[in-house]
Amino acid sequence: MTEILITVATILIVVGAIPGVCNYLILLERKLSAWMQDRVGPNRVGPAGLFQPLADGIKLLLKEEVIPSHVDRVLYLMAPMISVFTTMLALAVVPFGPVEDAPKWIRFIIAPGIDIGLVFIFAITSLAVYGIILGGWASNNKYSALGSLRASAQVVSYEIPLGMSVLGIALMAGTVNLEQIQLQQVNAGILGWNIWYQPLACLIFFSSSLAEANRLPFDLAECEQELVGGWHTEYSALKWALFFLGEYTHVITISFLTTILFFGGWHLPGIATAESVYPFAWLVKLLVLLTKVFGFIVLIIMLRWTIPRFRFDQLMDLAWKIMIPLSVVNILMVMFCLHFQASHLWLMVGSVLMFICWGVVGTSHRRVQLQGGTARTMVSHAVSSAHSTAGKH
């Protein structure tokens, strides 16, 4: 009975905290974008604009719920619910603290001991695309439909490198249980963090996760300049807010997974280790983990205001021509090292070399394309000039 009460309390805390956290992440993004662009940002509501999320929330709650007459009403209302439900459900197996050292009256994970944690997350988050597809289809709007089709192609493409990037971690750890993967890195110390042996996998995982969450520079499904507002063009008020709640929840999940899979989770040498037994050590470990997660959230936000959006063909090429082949090579390197019991340091060397080689190949291919384009342009201009001269004579 006690376990049930703790589980219910944990669920209520997570579900209740996520909307508030997402609201203040939006404020953080607005503040950071203002700082990067030499603007002031929100500063009217409350001291330094800290009550702006409350004002925005009240506005969205009180706005008229407009439902266009031409939409498929059932699917139209289901779409934002699916987006929020899938992203929140994925958090069920994500440890957001030191699970092993937690006090008896608190638990830092909703569903502990799930041996298929990573598989569960990928399975659930892959369903989030149905919210986008249904939203675009049910809107009965051409721009929304195009946005949903782009999203489906994008998500299906990037799910492949996303899943393949963590296979190396699973092979090295011998499990897909997030708690065990985190604990193995903690016991091995800072040199046991997976980032040292899987830097290429970390880059692929992080980039593919951004594409899964439709964050810039991978927001081709929305792309305001081309598609008005993408799949949520016809949405307003609370229904519109639910889509963005799902997006920011996905950002939180990405940051937790990157920290746990590659950066040792709550481990920090000299401060939070497996041997830390001082009073409130669990609180320090919790703060270490949340600080790392916050750092990745800030990085994701700053990337949005730094890197321009890809074209759709560039988006597809990045997935199919670069990330998937690199993921395959990374898995082969891990299998080779494990089979021949070689040092894991060779994985770091191989990852760096593969990244450099692919960069050289990609740059050379791009240079050839540009030269070919220039040559074709010169020939075209020459032909046009010849026709013009002939016409004059």
As beta bridge partners, residue 268 has 272
Residue 385's pLDDT is 60
Residue 376's pLDDT is 57
Q: Are 212 and 250 in contact (CB under 8 A)?
A: yes
* Total residues belonging to the chain: 393
The whole-angstrom distance between residue 12's C-alpha and the CA centroid of its chain comes to: 24
Residue 114's pLDDT is 86
- In DSSP notation, 349-363 reads HHHHHHHHHHHHHHH
pLDDT tens string 187-227: 888 888 999 999 999 999 999 988 888 787 777 766 656 65
What region does 223 belong to: left with phi over 0, alpha with psi -120 to 50, or beta?
left
Could you give phi then psi for residue 138, rounded to 5 degrees? -70, -20
Mean pLDDT by 10 residues, the chain (393 residues): 83 89 91 90 88 89 84 88 89 87 82 88 86 85 82 85 91 90 90 90 91 79 63 82 87 92 90 83 90 93 85 84 90 90 87 84 66 58 57 54
pLDDT tens string 276-293: 888 888 899 999 999 999
Q: Are 42 and 31 in contact (CB under 8 A)?
A: yes
CA–CA–CA angle 282, 283, 284 (5° rounding): 90
As beta bridge partners, residue 272 has 268
Cis (ω within 30 of 0) for the bond into 217? yes
Residue 97's pLDDT is 85
Q: How far apart, in Å, are the Cα atoms of 255 and each of 86, 99, 213, 295, 299?
A: 17, 18, 12, 8, 10
Residue 384's pLDDT is 61
- Calpha distance 235→241 (Å, rounded): 9
